[in-house]
A and B are shown apart, each in its own frame.
Chain A
Amino acid sequence: MVPAKPLASAKRMENLRRNWYKFSRNRMSILGLFTVLLVTFLAVFAPLVAPHPEHASAFVDFANASRPPSLEYPFGTDVIGRDILSRIFFGFRFSLGMGVIVLSLVVPPGVVLGLVAGYNQGTWLDTVIMRITDIFLAVPSLVLALAICSVLTPNLFNAMLAVSLMWWPWYARLVYGLASTLRNEFFVASAETIGASKFHILFREILPNCISPIFTKMSLDMGWVIIIGSALSFVGLGVQPPRPGLGTMVSDGSRYLPEQWWISIFPSLAIVLVVLGFNLLGDGLRDMFAAEEA
C-alpha cells in the first residue's frame, strides 16, 4: 500500500510550484509582493529600522523643526522637529494593523451570510439578508463610517469598528453570487442526495470553490481599507495625535502648504505606495487563479 499522505503533500507542493510560476511570470505581481513584504517588514521592525524611533510619539526638538529633506532627515522634519521618515514607518503599523483587523472582522460574517443567502436563494432568508446588504451599500461607505465614528469617541478602535460595519456586505454580495450558481452544480446535488448536512454542503462543498475570489478581494480590499482608514484619520476621526497615522500626518502637514510641502507630501506618497503594493498583489493573484481555471 502506498501511504496516502506524502502523495497528497507532494501534489500540493506541485500545485504551489505551478501557481508560483504563473504568479511570478508577471513582473508587476512580483513588484506588488515585494512592496507588501517591504512595508510589512518596516512596520513590524519599525523600532529597529527607523532612524529616530523616539520621534514616533510625542517628542519635541524645536532646534530641528521644519527641516527640509536632508541626509540626516531624508523626508524632512515636522513643525516640532520629528523625523517624517521614522513616523511613516510607525504609520505603516496603524495602516496595516487596521487592514488586517478590519478584514478579519468582516470576512467571516460576510462570507457566512453570503453562503447562506446564496444556497437558500429565493427563500425568505435570501430576501432578508440581501435586502440588508442593499441598505448598507446604498450609502457611500466612507460617509456612514464617518457618521458612526463621529457619534462614538474618535479613536482607532472605533474607526475600525465603523469600517467593519460598512464592509461585510461586499463579501456577502461576492459570495452570494458564487454560491447561488454553485448550488446547482452536480457535486452539491450529489452531496444532498446522500444526505449530507447543510453545514457540510455550505462549508465543505461550496466554500472551497469560493476561496480564490475571496483571497483576491481581500488583497485588493487591504488597499481600500487603508485608504478609508487614512481618510478617517485625515478628518481627525481615526488615529489620534501624537500617534503617527499616515492620514493624520497628511492633514497636519496640509496646514503648512506650500512652504513646508514635505510634511504632508511624503506621508501621502507612503499611502499611495502601500495601496499600490496591495493592488498589484491582488491583480497578480487574480491572474494566477484565472490561469488556474483556464
Chain B
Amino acid sequence: MSFITFLVRRAIHSIFVVLGLSIVIFIISRIMPGDPARMAVGARAPEWVVDNLREQMHLTEPLHIQYYYWLRDALRGDFGISLVTRRPVADDIKEFFPATMELALLAGLINGAGGIILGTISAWHKDKWVDNVVRVISYLGVVTPSFIFAILFLLLFGMTLEWMPTMGRLSPSLPRPSIITGLITVDSLLAGDFAAFFDALWHLILPAVALGLGGMAQEARITRSTMSDNLTKDYIAAERSLGIPESVIMRSFLLKPSLIPTVSILGLDFAATLGNAFLVELIFNWPGISRYGINAMLRKDLNAISAVILILGVVFIVVNIMVDIIVARLDPRIQLRAGGSE
C-alpha cells in the first residue's frame, strides 16, 4: 500500500471513529436526568420561555433528529452556551485549549526524550548499578499516579523549598505576550521577550514533569527491553566482529530499530497524558481545557463537557496518526494498515 493510500484510508477510518465518539457523547449528554432547556434559563423563568427554548433547541424532536442538529452545530464549531461561564463554549475552548497543549506537549517531550535516554543508558549498562537504579526509578514511576506526583512536587519544590511557582502560567507582574499561538513560551519567544519566556517555562516545569514522569518510566522500560533484546542479535555481533566502534553501532544500527515499540506506545500514552491532565491542571491551578472540563463536569455543564471530550478525542486520533507515520518511517518493513494499531 502506498503512503498516500495509507493516509487516506487512515483518515477515513478516523472520521468514522470520531462519528462514533460523537454518538457516545450525545448519548451520555442525553441520559442525564433533567431538562436542558430549563437548566439553561434557570428555575425562575416562566414556562412559555422554556417551551420556546425547547423548540429552539430541537428537544421536542425524536432523538435521531436531535443528534443530527447537535452534530451539524458541532461541525460548525457551535457547541452552544456554557452554563458556567455564560459564554459560547467555542470561545472558552479557544481560550483554554492552548494552555493544555503547551503542558501536554512538554510532558510528551519529557516522556519521549527522557524515556529513550534512560532506557538506552539502562540497556547499555545492563545489570550494572546504573541499570538497577534506572529500573527501580522507572518502576516507581509506572506505579505512581500523576496526581500523586503533582502533590508531592507541589509540597516539595513549590511549598517547602519554594523553588518553583505553584499555580498559573505566568507571574502576575509580567505582561502577557500578544497571543499568536496561545502557547506562552512560544509567543514570548516570537516577541523576543525572554523574561516572560523563562517565567512561563518555570511555571510549566512542575506540572509538565508530574504529567510526563509516568509515561517516561514506561518508555524507559520498553526501550530498555527492546534494546537489550536487539543487543543479543546476530547482526550486532557481526558488526562488532568487523571492528565497528561501539558508538557507531549504537548510533547507526541499534537505536533506530529499538525505538519502534517505544514510539508506538508514545501515541497511546498521549491518551493517558490528556486524561491525567485533568487532575494535574486542577492541582496546579492551570487554566487549561482540562480544568475547564472538570469544572464543567462538577456542575453538569453538558455543552462544555461534550465539546471538551470531542476535542480531546480528535487530538488523540490526530496524534496517533502522526505516530503511525513516524513508526512507518522508522521501520521500512512495516505493512501500512488503515485500521490503526490492531
Task: Write the residues of chain A forming the contact surface with B, with a CB cutoff of 8 angstroms.
Answer: 130-132, 134-144, 146-152, 173, 176-177, 223, 227, 230-231, 234-237, 250, 254, 257-258, 261, 264-265, 268, 271-272, 275-276, 279
Surface stretch bound by A, among B17-25, B80-88, B253-261 = B17-25
* Nearest residue, chain A, Cβ from B271: A140
Q: Which among B28, B282, B283 is the interface contact of A151 at CB below 8 angstroms? A: B28
Contact in complex: B278, A235 (CB < 8 Å): yes
Chain B residues, CB < 8 A from A139: 21, 271, 309, 312-313, 316
Given that A140-B316, A258-B155 are contacting pairs, would A150 and B298 also be in contact in the complex, using a CB cutoff of 8 Å? Answer: yes
CB distance from A30 to the nearest CB of B (A): 15
Q: Among the listed A131, A147, A235, A279, which residue makes an inter-chain contact with B143, where contact means beta carbons less than 8 Å apart?
A: A279
B340 with A254: CB separation less than 8 A: no
- Docked Cα-Cα span, A203 to B32, in Å, equals 38
Given A134-B20, A138-B317, A272-B144, 4 more pairs with CB closer than 8 A: A143-B274, A146-B297, A235-B278, A254-B283
Q: Chain B residues near A137: list those with CB within 8 A.
A: 271
List the one stretch of B58-66, B123-131, B145-153, B178-186 in contact with chain A. Answer: B145-153
Closest B residue, CB atoms, query A227: B145
Q: Determine the distance from Cα of A265 to Cα of B151 in the docked complex, in whole angstroms.
A: 8
B234 within 8 A of A: no
**What are 24 sample pairs from A and B whose C-beta atoms fall under 8 A apart?**
A131-B20, A132-B20, A134-B17, A135-B17, A135-B20, A139-B21, A139-B312, A143-B278, A151-B29, A151-B305, A176-B342, A227-B145, A231-B145, A234-B147, A235-B298, A237-B298, A254-B283, A257-B151, A257-B155, A265-B155, A272-B143, A272-B144, A276-B140, A279-B139
Return chain B residues, CB-CB under 8 Å to A135.
Answer: 17, 20-21, 24
Contacts of B230 in A (CB 8 A): none
Shortest C-beta distance, A83 to chain B (Å), equals 21
What residue in chain A is nearest B160 (Cβ atoms)?
A: A258
List, in ascending order, chain B residues with CB within 8 A of A130's CB.
Answer: 339, 342
Q: State the majority secondary structure of interface residues on B.
A: helix
> How far, in whole Å, are A279 and B296 apart by their CA atoms in the complex?
34
Q: Does the CB pair B316–A268 fall under 8 Å?
A: no
- Contacts A138-B313, A140-B272, A272-B144: A131 and B151 contacting too (C-beta < 8 A)? no
Within the assembled complex, what's the spacing in Å between the Cα atoms of A152 and B139? 35
B90 CB-CB contact with A under 8 Å: no
Tell me, in angstroms, the Cα distance from A223 to B129 when the chains sit together.
Answer: 28
Main secondary structure of the interface of A (DSSP, over half): helix
Whether A235 pairs with B293 at a CB distance below 8 angstroms is: no
B279 at the binding interface (Cβ < 8 Å)? yes
Smallest CB-CB A-B distances: 6 pairs: A140-B275, A142-B275, A150-B297, A135-B20, A258-B159, A151-B32
Q: Is the CB of A138 within 8 A of B21?
A: yes
Kindly list chain A residues whose C-beta atoms are within 8 Å of the C-beta of B231: none
Tell me which residues across on chain A come within 8 A of B147, comparing CB atoms. Answer: 231, 234, 250
Residues of A contacting B340 with CB < 8 Å?
Answer: 134
Contact across chains for A146 and B144 when beta carbons are under 8 A apart:
no
Within the complex, the shortest CB–CB distance from B23 to chain A, in Å, comes to 8
- Min CB–CB distance B293 → chain A (angstroms): 7
Asked whether, in the complex, the Cβ of A231 is within 8 Å of the Cβ of B279, the reply is yes
A235 x B21 contact (CB < 8 A): no
Per-residue A-contact encoding for B296-311, CB less than 8 Å = 1, 0 else: 1110101001001100
Least CB distance from A119 to B in Å reads: 15
Given contacts A139-B312, A250-B151, A257-B155, contact A276 B17 (CB under 8 A): no
A234 close to B279 (CB less than 8 A): yes
Q: Are B312 and A140 in contact (CB under 8 A)?
A: yes
Chain A contacts of B93 at CB under 8 A?
Answer: none
User: Complex Cα distance A140/B274, Å?
Assistant: 7
